[in-house]
Amino acid sequence: MEFAVENRTEKDVTVVTIRGEIDVFTSPKLREKLLDIIDGDGARHLVVDLSEVTFLDSTGLGVLVGIYHRLRARDGTMSFVGANDRVRRVFHVTQLTKIFVLHPSLEDAIAARESSST
C-alpha cells in the first residue's frame, strides 16, 4: 500500500486519513501535510484515522507528538480512530495513551469533540 494522507471536514473537525506505513521515510511527508492542514487551512481539531496504517515507528510518533503540541498551543485537539492492534500496541508501549485519545470509531471521536465544545 502506497503512503497517502487525505483530509476532509466533518462538522467542526478535520478528519485526516493516513494510508500505508508511517516510518522514517514517510514521516517528512506526513509532517508537511499535517502542517499544511493546521497552518495553511487553519484546522484546530484533528481526528486522525489510522485504520489503513500498516506500520508506525518512533519517527512517525515524533511527528504526531509535535503536531499535537502545536495544536494544543492553539487550543486545538487531536485524537485517533481505527488503530489496529499493532499500531495500538505502539501507543500503549510508549505510554502515549496518556496524552492521545484512541476512539473506537469516527462517530465516537466527533461526538466527544462536540460534547467538549459545549
pLDDT score for 118: 58
Give whole-number Cα distances, 83 to 8, 9, 48, 88, 115, in Å.
Answer: 19, 20, 10, 5, 22
pTM (2 decimals)? Answer: 0.93
Looking at the structure of the chain, the number of domains it has is 1
pLDDT score for 7: 97
Q: Is the sign of the CA dihedral 39, 43, 44, 49 positive or negative?
A: negative
Which CATH number characterizes residue 89's domain?
3.30.750.24
Residue-wise burial string across 57-83, b where 16 or more C-beta atoms lie within 10 A, e elsewhere: eebbbebbeebbeebeeeebbbbbbbb
Grid cell, residue 118, equals 459545549
Range of 72's domain?
A: 4-116
Grid cell, residue 8, equals 476532509
pLDDT score for 1: 77
Please give the average pLDDT of every successive group of 10 residues along the chain, which has 118 residues. Answer: 94 95 97 96 95 96 97 95 94 93 93 80
